[in-house]
Amino acid sequence: MGIAQNWRLRSQRYGLVGEVCDDCGEKIFPPRDVCPYCTQPAQTPFQFSGRGEVFSHTTIYNPPTGYEEFVPYTVALVKLEEGPLVTAQLTDVDPEEVNIGQPVEMVTRKIREDGPEGLIMYGYKFRPRLQEV
């Protein structure tokens, strides 16, 4: 992915910014300009809380190019509190200790590195939700 392709996604990657449909009220992530539920225009930004729970998960040992340094890593579908599913890596957790239904929260981490002199991309991952004290 080139610089501009990543730059365009900065508010999603760093802020989990999606949309809310003015017509039917559905919260949408990733943003997509047309509401998938009612097909009306949906362009009002909405920032998600970053809280959710694990909907499904798997651990990757054979990574695509660019992700070798993270192996083994766990990817998940996370069900956000506000409704949508999001695909992301889990972090700060032993793959053996991940369960469906586990509460997680968004954190910002390094997503990938394009070699020693290339881009370093940051974005959202999810970790087990910290206990509130």
Interacting residues with another protein (CB under 8 A): 1, 5, 9, 12, 30, 36, 55-68, 70, 73, 75-77, 84-89, 100, 111-112, 121, 123
Q: Give the shortest CB-68-to-another protein separation in angstroms.
A: 7
Nearer to another protein, 115 or 131 (CB): 115
For residues 11-45, one letter each, b for 16 or more C-beta atoms within 10 angstroms of the residue's C-beta and e for the rest, the string is ebbeebbbbbbeeeebbbbebeeebeeeeeebeee
The residue whose two tokens read 């362009």 is 43
List the alpha helices (DSSP H) in the chain.
3-7, 10-15
Q: Give the shortest CB-117-to-another protein separation in angstroms.
A: 19
Q: Give the shortest CB-83-to-another protein separation in angstroms.
A: 11
